[in-house]
Amino acid sequence: MTKIQEAPIAGKVVDQNDKCTPVWTEYFASITQGDVGTGWSPVFTNLTTVGTPTITGVYYENQGFTDFYIKIVPGTNTSSVIGSTFVPLPFAVTADTIAGVVTGQSGGVGVVNAASQTVYTPSWTNVPSPVTISGRVRSV
């Protein structure tokens, strides 16, 4: 994973020829590139599935925030129960927030719990289309 490095404030920005120094060039390149993302395999608790779903996740860390996306492609369909279905996150979360959930033509709101580092999903029943869960959290 590519992380943005801290600004090299101890070094000069330009050299005697008014050209950007190598250390600052590297820094500027890192902030335009950003995080290319880290994939992970989310493991849900109490997600009801018919057929074998494909569940993938990716997250991007940048400037103290982490954006995450989870995609559930059902074998046949999936169901979730609010307050009971959840998935742990593979990164630190420092504040509670919400997560958007899209289930084909409808959507809902889940909850990111900082104390347990998990996302609790809203309820949906027998959804045959892919489900996407996404959010932005404050991270370390």
Q: How far apart are CA 94 and CA 64, in angstroms?
A: 10
Please tell me the predicted confidence (pLDDT) of residue 1.
43
Residue with tokens 């742990």: 88
Q: Is 52:75 a contact under the CB 8 Å cutoff?
A: yes
Residues of the chain with pLDDT under 70: 1-5, 32-34
pTM of the model: 0.77
pLDDT, one tens digit per residue, over 27-65 is 877 776 667 899 999 999 999 999 999 999 999 998 889
Q: Would you list the domain boundaries of the chain?
A: 1-34, 38-138
**CATH number belonging to the domain at 38-138, selected among 3.30.40, 2.60.40, 2.40.160, 3.40.50:** 2.60.40
